[in-house]
Structure 1
Amino acid sequence: MNTLPQPIYPVVDSAQWVKRLGQAGARFIQLRVKDKPQAELLEEVRSARTIAETLGVCLVLNDYWQAALDEGISYIHLGQEDLDTADLAAIRRGGLKLGVSTHCPEELDRALSYAPDYVALGPIWETKLKKMAFGPQGVEKLTVWKKQVGDTPVVAIGGITLERVKPCLNAGADCVSAVSAFTGHADPEGQVKAWLAAAGC
């Protein structure tokens, strides 16, 4: 049975956030870096990898599958559009674990055809972080998704707050993920601890 390192999954945009949240107890963190030159991107990835190794964090790199292979990152997370261009065979040969974003049944079927190590469903609630082509899915969809995917872990993302952690897990999610709930909070480290407590850790 597939399992994830932890039921909470912060998404951050820098190595320093990996350090802060990792020191607070997060053990499954995605690094999502956007719009940086290649040299700066690799510097950020290498720094994040070193910090993650030191703290015992399982690091996930968003989008940049070749960098993940080259730099020895554990997981790669791909959106649907990334599946069009990523070399999935190379990703598997390199031993990378794979997470895929999904928003509708067609995308879920496509994701499952690649035998991912987890699928992310979202947005569960409305999110203002980025413009979404899909409306809120609701927690009920988590139950439907989980029945369909079986042993493949389901990650809930989109509009999730501390108060929504337990409802998502109770509905069938194996893991809950967020960006601004951690990096936009006045006490990010406290949020990590509170989310872990809400998840029963």
Structure 2
Amino acid sequence: MKLDPFYLIVDSAAWIRRLVPLGVRLVQLRMKDMDEMSMRREIAEAKTVCERHGCQLILNDYWQLAIELDCDFVHLGQEDLAAADLRNIRAAGIRLGISTHDEAELETALSAVPDYIALGPIYETRLKKMRWAPQGLERISDWKKQAAPLPLVAIGGLDPQRLPGVFAAGADSAAVVTDITLNDDPEGRTREWIERTRRLIGSTSVSPAIQ
């Protein structure tokens, strides 16, 4: 399996409606503090947009809704992984991504046989306070050796200028939140990410997001 090198993370269908038509092929919908009915509406709208534009939709945390609403992926943190029914996720044909921050979490994630592993934060991040220090580029190389052949997603504090080092260290995909959503020109920044990631990884011909 091959991930698209550009992995966008947003918190609403409105962002998906705004940015996916620019050429995004892989997007995670990460919603917090929302009632279930509103969440279902967001997922349904996000799915419609993604299907129209050939983009894979990843739902963060809510694996039951990912199954019920037929998302392409579910992404789980370590706490959510412990409570998830992996057998049902696999039976539904939902692909699985797992967050990791240290060796113990990597071991736990690999034992779940996911479709990709995420490592972060690579650099200091503005998104939220983390109890882990920035991982750095060397950790990407170490994680890639341990996780191979699974795709490795790097996340945390990334911007277009840092992408060459991230991919050279072994990441298959680079995830981004605030560098786009807090940018003065989110559309322009998204186009820059798309161009830089696909040029650096040499995957301009990869379509759709997953092979």
Provide the C-alpha distance between the structure 1 equivalents of 2:176 and 2:86, rounded to a whole number of angstroms: 26
Match of 2:50 in 1: 52
Provide the C-alpha distance between the structure 2 equivalents of 1:14 and 1:73, rounded to a whole number of angstroms: 15
Provide the C-alpha distance between the structure 1 equivalents of 2:41 and 2:191, rounded to a whole number of angstroms: 29
Match of 1:130 in 2: 128
**Residues 11-59 of structure 1, C-alpha deviations (whole Å, 9 max, x = no match):** 0011121122211111100000100011001111111111111111100
Among 36, 39, 50, the alignment partner of 1:38 is: 36
Letter in 2 for 1:74: D
Match of 2:182 in 1: 184
> Between Structure 1 and Structure 2, how many residues are aligned?
199
Match of 1:12 in 2: 10
Match of 1:121 in 2: 119
Matched, 1:84 2:82: yes
Q: Is the 8 A contact 2:126 2:178 kept in 1?
A: no
Provide the C-alpha distance between the structure 1 equivalents of 2:179 and 2:58, rounded to a whole number of angstroms: 18
Match of 2:108 in 1: 110
Match of 1:140 in 2: 138
**Residues 60-108 of structure 1, C-alpha deviations (whole Å, 9 max, x = no match):** 0000001010001000000001011111111011100000000001100
Q: Report the CA distance between 1:128 and its aligned residue.
A: 2.2
Match of 1:99 in 2: 97
Provide the C-alpha distance between the structure 2 equivalents of 1:114 and 1:179, rounded to a whole number of angstroms: 26
Detail structure 1 runs of 4+ shifted over 6 Å in the superposition: none
Q: Report the CA distance between 1:182 and its aligned residue.
A: 1.2
TM-score, normalised relative to structure 2: 0.92
Q: Report the CA distance between 1:178 and its aligned residue.
A: 1.0
Provide the C-alpha distance between the structure 1 equivalents of 2:51 and 2:60, rounded to a whole number of angstroms: 18
Give the SS at the match of 1:152. coil
Q: Report the CA distance between 1:197 and its aligned residue.
A: 2.0
Q: Report the CA distance between 1:187 and its aligned residue.
A: 1.4
Give the SS at the match of 2:99. strand
Aligned-residue RMSD, C-alpha: 0.9
Match of 2:168 in 1: 170
Letter in 2 for 1:3: K
Q: Is the 8 A contact 1:165 1:195 kept in 2?
A: no
Match of 2:209 in 1: none
Structure 1 regions of 5+ residues with no counterpart?
Answer: none
**Residues 94-143 of structure 1, C-alpha deviations (whole Å, 9 max, x = no match):** 10000000000110011001111110000000112112111100011101
Among 57, 73, 76, the alignment partner of 2:71 is: 73
Provide the C-alpha distance between the structure 2 equivalents of 1:128 and 1:186, rounded to a whole number of angstroms: 16
Provide the C-alpha distance between the structure 1 equivalents of 2:116 and 2:187, rounded to a whole number of angstroms: 25
Match of 1:3 in 2: 2
Provide the C-alpha distance between the structure 2 equivalents of 1:129 and 1:159, rounded to a whole number of angstroms: 9
Provide the C-alpha distance between the structure 1 equivalents of 2:17 and 2:5, rounded to a whole number of angstroms: 19
Q: Report the CA distance between 1:192 and its aligned residue.
A: 1.9
Among 150, 154, 157, the alignment partner of 1:156 is: 154
Letter in 1 for 2:108: R
TM-score, normalised relative to structure 1: 0.96
Larger RCO (CA within 8 A; separation ≥ 6): 2
